[in-house]
Amino acid sequence: MVAAVRFMTDLPGLTRYPPGFSPEWATRLTATDFQRLARAADELGYDAINVPEHIVMPDELAPTMGAYWPHAFTAMAFVAGATTRLNVNSSVIVLPYHQPLALAKAVATLDLLSGGRVMLTFGVGHAEQEFRALGIPFDRRGRIADEYLEAMHVLWTETAPAYQGEFVSFRGVQFEPKPARLPRIWIGGNSARALRRAARHGQGWMPWLVTPDELPARLAELRAMPGFGAGADDFDIFMPPAPLRVREADHSLLDPDTPRQNFQTGEAVIDAIGRLGDLGATWTYIPRPGAPAQSLAEHLEHLAWGSETVMPAFR
């Protein structure tokens, strides 16, 4: 039996991350174009749109990571307002950058107004200068993230929310509205600490710098983490068919002379996604066979092709 897989897409040009950046045409997209892309994905049956984020980009990382990044939650609200059924996913928000009560309020409000369509993928970050610019202690980022996850869950679920931690504390307050649906939280990363955080706080894991060949061993590691068993039957794994291969420290390409893997036929795309499903992935992207799209029209054609040709094999 073919494994069931759900499908994400993104908005080309909203970020301009050099290792995975879309061609020049995507830099010229307008607000109307972004609305058209979101509505097309919605109507064609895609399950979510991903929106990444950085607040500022340190000078030393800008050559390899680019400086053009959106504020994820603003973009998610834009996408949710332009669509009716697909989820909006923060992929990835560096959680320590966001005051947790304010973020919990934004999440609850958008989830209510979108009818329960907010997903959240969080990471703890790696750009020390970005933390410094925001006045956040880089070396405590993991503990900060854990407290923020705990505190937001309290706000979303308890009628008399109270929390006492090192970095966030509150009591004697009320928090409304609650989300329409408790948002699904994924944790991004590849470290043992990220896996522990996913097992304890999350309903999904978005691997980073993990290849399909490495996925089974990492999933075994995840499943052995304390706390994983409680949500094991409904735990998501996102894995793209052709993950980027970059250096973790600065995101430069591991082998600049070797192009990113391209699938030359639709059959190759379906086979690759089928293998991911067999390995345990529950979400993925649909890569375009052959050369990248050279225009908005070609990208829209690719979205339609994915809907008509790839998705039915996994539903």
Enumerate domains of the chain plus CATH numbers: 6-314 (3.20.20.30)
Asked whether residue 233 carries a pLDDT value surpassing 90, the answer given is no
Least confident window among 172-176, 178-182, 239-243: 239-243
pLDDT confidence of residue 200: 94
pLDDT confidence of residue 191: 95
Residue linked to tokens 């339609």: 304
pLDDT (tens digit, 9 = 90+) per residue, 241-281? 988 888 888 888 887 665 566 789 999 999 999 999 999 99
d(CA 118, CA 110): 7
Closest to 98 (Cα-Cα) out of 148, 143, 58: 148
Q: Which residue has the higher pLDDT, 252 or 208?
A: 208
Asked whether residue 223 carries a pLDDT value surpassing 80, the answer given is yes
Q: Could you write out the three-class secondary structure of 263-281?
A: CCCHHHHHHHHHHHHHHCC
Chain-wide mean pLDDT for the chain? 94
Tell me whether residue 309 is exposed, middle or buried, using C-beta atoms within 10 angstroms of its C-beta: 0 to 12, 13 to 18, 19 or more: middle
Average pLDDT over residues 217-225: 95
Average pLDDT over residues 179-183: 97
Asked whether residue 205 carries a pLDDT value surpassing 70, the answer given is yes
Q: Which residue has the higher pLDDT, 20 or 200?
A: 200
pLDDT confidence of residue 22: 62
